Structure 1
Amino acid sequence: MKKWIIILISMILVVSGIFISVYLRALSPVKAAQEKAVAIAEKKVQFSKIDNFHIYNGNETVYVIEGKSKKGEKIITWIPLKTKQVVVLKAKSGLSKEQAIKKLEETKNPKKIISVRLGMEKMIPFWEIYYLSDNNLINYYYIHFQTGEWLKKIENL
């Protein structure tokens, strides 16, 4: 009986180790991209803290860094991978995530919001809202980060 318990615990540990290894390897390209983006961005702005990093893949790939400057201001940095032209804006100069959702709800009736994230195309920063409509169709709604104006939408996919 003891032998089976030891074998079972050993198997659980081995399987857990494999899962952890695969997970860490899957994250390594994103970590490398974040390090690259921070190195590019720090030529223009110094971060005291990085709160969020993600990669926007639309018409072009854009690295987006949300964090705090050395002065303690919340800032957002967009870095198009092709041009590496860094755009830095204070978070308070544009809409918050919640304000972007309210803008969507003023014109649409989303059943479920899947994700809300920052992106950029043609050097225009925006909020991309990915949501499901009442009939469970996928929709994307793009709102200008600074003005709150609707930029484009992709509906009923």
Structure 2
Amino acid sequence: MEKKWILVIVGLVFLAGWQAYYLYNEVNAKPEKKEAEAVEVAKKEENLASIKNVDHFFKNETYYVVEGENEDGRDMIVWVGEDKKVYSEIAKKGLSEGQMIDYVKANHDAKEIIDIRLGMEDEIPLWEVVYLDDQDRYTYYYGYFETGKRYEIYRLKESEQK
């Protein structure tokens, strides 16, 4: 009788482990699949010959940002929406990541840069910079891709409830 219960428990542990593995793979496969689809759309629509970077942007809409070089050797940035709508720019028309970080540090009280990524809202290419300001607030700064000037800014302060 004890062997039967041991086998049942081992079987249940095995089944639970298999289900957890399957769920983990399913959850992680979807973003990779969508990124791969965005790369294919960018290659087709903007004649990208090589890909340098792929990132995602989630706000009101989801975009995949594909950075690469087109067949003419120009560095391009391609924003691909979930609906496969494509917007592209020559990379030199906008600020680089380093230039955007310098802009935010010079014009806003950025104590520590947490994250920076390209994004888009209302068909406007933007930089999203997340940083801690001089009051230790998480700040989400959205600046225009071309100039860095403010499009939107959100500040989050930790709750003072105890």
Cα deviation, residue 155, structure 1 = 1.2
Cα deviation, residue 68, structure 1 = 1.1
- In the other structure, the counterpart of 1:123 is 123
Q: What RMSD in Å do the two structures reach over aligned CA positions?
A: 2.1
Q: For the residues of structure 2 that align with 1:47 and 1:142, how far apart are their CA atoms?
A: 27
Q: For the residues of structure 2 that align with 1:88 and 1:60, how far apart are their CA atoms?
A: 17
- Which secondary structure does the structure 2 equivalent of 1:101 belong to? helix
- In the other structure, the counterpart of 2:143 is 143
- In the other structure, the counterpart of 1:65 is 66
Given the superposition, is the C-alpha separation of residues 108 and 91 from structure 1 closer, same or farther in structure 2, using an over 3 Å criterion?
Answer: same
How does the TM-score come out when normalised to structure 2?
0.75
Determine if the alignment matches structure 1 residue 29 to structure 2 residue 36: no
How does the TM-score come out when normalised to structure 1?
0.77
Q: Is the radius of gyration larger for structure 1 or structure 2?
A: 2
Cα deviation, residue 90, structure 1 = 0.7
What percent of counterpart residues are identical?
34
Structure 1 gap ranges (5+): 1-20
- Which secondary structure does the structure 2 equivalent of 1:95 belong to? coil
Cα displacement string for residues 107-128 of structure 1 (whole angstroms, at most 9, x for unaligned residues): 2121210111000000000100
Number of residue pairs matched by the alignment:
136
Structure 2 gap ranges (5+): 1-20, 158-162
Q: For the residues of structure 2 that align with 1:149 and 1:85, how far apart are their CA atoms?
A: 25
